[in-house]
């Protein structure tokens, strides 16, 4: 038998189309006394093998064959390794032959962190059609803007017709709602043809409850030793954990090998528990890189831990990741911009000094610094490259986990939004844009689900209890309602209207400067410093090609004629010329004068100006 994929010399689990004809079916069910393969033409007993793996070879079938497994007379159940669930997680599994797609990306070398500009999107709400194929016509506009990779929220099969993706249960099967395996391959191929990468959000800390049949095969898929806020924790360090570890390493290897995915954002890595000598995160990283070779992949962790261990190589006791979602920047800026201090924002003052410290360190909490509530966490960021910090002004969590799903552009004035956008894209860190951010989209992004009635009621009631303290007498939108999902779809016409067009022009120019300016295109923390003076934030970047200074005037977030202050030491002696002002008329501003000289700093109120000084 000729297998395209192997795992330690062993045949793959799931359904494998054989080169010499037929399909090999293999499933791990260590607790079972009997397992039967269920096909349309009947059932057949599977052969038990080492490690609790059951096998059956069937000739005369191939891609498109529907199947399930019956375990000790119960079921039949879908395949945990199913590559396709055409009718959702409760339906039949479908055999898929990954060799059927003819890839056109032979020259594509993958992604690396330097120069990366991420664009997070939810496939179902990014377009009216809500499919992988519908994303493709929008890729040219994103590429022309300066985006180098789209980041897809989870696409693994979930219950119902709409979901954020974090309730996924069939982690090997791209959602049939979005277009299934073939649709995802077409999207990735189309992105590569345009010089863009595809990063995939994957969830290995829990699985959703609805359609989750793993425990029917093995009680050791999950553990009660640890808990997550979202469901049962996966068993990475207990009895039979070797096969659970294989489950996720096989999964990330499949995305890299069979779909040519260029990178992975691992959800809530702080809730992936493993006391083994070698942490599963290090094993996941190794599996992804091995499967993608010779292409490059990037691995990004979502964690609030501010722990450089994620970024160290496994040989140095680390996990071998490339980057971390560094939320301290978002939180400090959000508090400054909105005045909101509830929940996790309570750890932040939102002062310009705090923002400056975050910019200089990469993250704010480094094990020494504490917020106003005495909260400390994290460790030092010395030696961590700038590219390893993923910065954002908004993402699906920070928008969607609000009672009414308001975007930042709906919470603050347009001039403030423009100024903060300039700050984000001026910094040497890896920027992440959330879909629609580039044209200040007004559509909310709400939490939505399509669970069965009982679970749906529980989700709705839980959501409303969670936000009853901030709802101010308004009813929190029902996650189960179709309208909640439809309201979250981007309104692309906004991109062409005055405010949208002007904001898009600003983002385009800021991203052009990141690519072309000899100082800003170098993503290094060397030559970076930030400080505050009154209501003004200064951020300087410098190298042998010159100096660039962003001056952000915040004040009380209200427009006045101008703000003046003496320039700080070290700035006085250079001749500065403005490169960009967020108050320019083409970006929706008033066109007020901006100046930086030996005598004073003059800039529009609630605006950011980028100045240049040449050697």
Catalytic residues: 267, 302
CB atoms under 10 Å from CB of 85, counted, come to 26
How many CB atoms neighbour CB 239 within 10 A?
12
Between CA 194 and CA 202, with CA 198 as vertex, the angle to 5 degrees is 170
Which pair of structure tokens corresponds to residue 173? 């099967």
Distance CA 175, CA 533 (A): 51
582-587 contacts: CB < 8 A, separation 24 or more?
A: 582/415, 582/418, 582/419, 582/421, 582/422, 582/506, 582/607, 582/608, 582/609, 583/415, 583/418, 583/607, 583/609, 586/502, 586/505, 587/418, 587/502, 587/503, 587/505, 587/506, 587/509
- Token pair for residue 387? 């590219």
Q: What angle do CA 412, 539, 118 make, to 5 degrees?
A: 65
Residue 361 CB: number of other CB atoms within 10 A?
22
Distance CA 136, CA 179 (A): 13
What kind and span of H or E run contains 241?
helix 241-258
User: Is there a contact between 38 and 68 (Cβ–Cβ < 8 Å)?
Assistant: yes
Taking a C-beta distance cutoff of 8 angstroms, is the pair 593, 602 a contact? Answer: yes
Report the candidate in 54, 57, 58, 91 with the shortest Cα–Cα distance to residue 76: 91
CA angle, 331 then 332 then 334, to 5°: 65
Query: Which tokens in the block code for residue 100?
Result: 């059927």
With the C-alpha atoms ordered 337, 339, 340, 344, is the resulting torsion angle positive or negative? Answer: positive
Let me know: does 88 contact 182? Beta carbons within 8 Å.
no
Please identify which residue in the block is written with the tokens 């399509």.
Answer: 450
Q: Do residues 53 and 26 touch, judged by C-beta distance below 8 A?
A: yes
Identify the sign of the CA torsion 587, 592, 597, 601. Answer: negative
Tell me the pairing of strands 263-266 and 197-202: parallel
Helix or strand (DSSP H, E) at 571? none
Pairing between β-strand 74-77 and β-strand 53-58 as defined by DSSP bridges: unpaired
Residues 138 and 20: their CA atoms lie apart, in Å, by: 41
CB 413 within 8 A of CB 557: yes
Rounded distance, CA 176 to CA 211, Å? 14
Which residues, 6 or more positions from 605, have their beta carbon under 8 angstroms from its beta carbon?
Answer: 553, 555, 558, 559, 560, 561, 562, 563
Separation of alpha carbons 322 and 216, rounded Å: 36
């Amino acid at each position: 038998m000729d297998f395209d994929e192997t795992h330690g010399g062993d045949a793959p689990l799931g359904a494998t189309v054989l080169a010499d004809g037929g399909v090999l079916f293999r499933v791990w069910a260590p607790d079972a006394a009997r397992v039967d393969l269920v096909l349309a033409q009947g059932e057949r007993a599977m052969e038990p093998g080492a490690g609790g793996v059951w096998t059956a070879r069937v000739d005369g079938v191939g891609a498109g064959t529907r199947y399930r497994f019956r375990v000790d007379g119960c079921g039949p159940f879908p395949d945990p390794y199913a590559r396709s669930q055409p009718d959702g997680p409760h339906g039949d599994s479908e055999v898929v032959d990954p060799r059927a797609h003819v890839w056109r990306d032979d020259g594509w070398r993958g992604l690396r962190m330097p120069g990366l500009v991420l664009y997070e999107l939810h496939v179902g709400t990014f377009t009216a059609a809500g499919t992988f194929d519908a994303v493709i016509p929008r890729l040219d506009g994103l590429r022309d803007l300066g985006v180098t990779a789209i980041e897809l929220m989870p696409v693994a099969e979930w219950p119902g017709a709409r979901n954020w993706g974090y309730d996924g249960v069939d982690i090997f099967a791209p959602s049939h709602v979005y277009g299934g395996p073939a649709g995802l391959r077409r999207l990735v191929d189309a992105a590569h043809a345009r010089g863009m990468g595809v990063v995939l959000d994957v969830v290995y800390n829990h699985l959703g409850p609805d359609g989750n049949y793993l425990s029917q095969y093995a009680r050791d898929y999950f553990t009660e030793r640890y808990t997550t806020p979202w469901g049962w924790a996966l068993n990475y360090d207990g009895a039979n954990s070797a096969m659970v570890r294989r489950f996720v390493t096989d999964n990330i290897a499949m995305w890299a090998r069979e779909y040519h995915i260029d990178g992975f954002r691992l959800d809530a890595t702080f809730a992936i528990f493993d006391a083994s000598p070698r942490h599963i995160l290090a094993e996941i990283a190794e599996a992804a890189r091995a499967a993608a070779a010779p292409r490059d992949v990037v691995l990004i962790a979502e964690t609030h831990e501010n722990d450089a261990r994620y970024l160290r190589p496994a040989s140095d006791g680390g996990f071998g990741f490339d980057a971390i979602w560094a939320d301290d920047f978002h939180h400090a800026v959000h508090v400054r911009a909105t005045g909101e201090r509830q929940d996790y924002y309570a750890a932040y003052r939102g002062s310009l000094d705090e923002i400056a410290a975050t910019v200089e360190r990469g993250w704010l909490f480094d094990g020494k610094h504490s917020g106003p509530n005495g909260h400390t966490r994290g460790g030092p960021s010395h030696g961590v490259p700038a590219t390893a910090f993923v910065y954002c002004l908004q993402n699906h969590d920070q928008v969607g986990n609000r009672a009414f799903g308001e975007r930042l552009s709906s919470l603050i004035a347009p001039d403030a939004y423009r100024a903060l956008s300039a700050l984000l894209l001026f910094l040497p860190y890896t920027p992440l844009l959330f879909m629609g951010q580039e044209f200040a989209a007004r559509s909310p992004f709400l939490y939505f689900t399509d669970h069965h009635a009982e679970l749906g009621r529980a989700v709705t009631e839980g959501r409303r209890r969670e936000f009853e303290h901030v709802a101010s007498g308004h009813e929190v939108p029902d996650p189960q309602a179709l309208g909640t999902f439809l309201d979250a779809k981007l309104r692309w016409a906004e991109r062409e209207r005055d405010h949208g067009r002007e904001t898009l022009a600003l983002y385009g120019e800021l991203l052009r400067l990141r690519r072309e300016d000899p100082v800003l295109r170098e993503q290094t923390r060397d030559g970076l410093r930030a400080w505050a003076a009154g209501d003004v934030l200064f951020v300087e970047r410098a190298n042998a090609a010159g100096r660039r200074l962003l001056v952000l005037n915040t004040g009380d977030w209200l427009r006045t004629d101008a703000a003046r202050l003496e320039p700080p030491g070290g700035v006085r002696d250079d001749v500065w010329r403005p490169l960009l002002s967020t108050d320019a008329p083409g970006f929706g501003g008033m066109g007020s004068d901006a100046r930086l000289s030996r005598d004073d700093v003059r800039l529009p109120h609630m605006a950011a100006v980028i100045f240049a000084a040449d050697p």
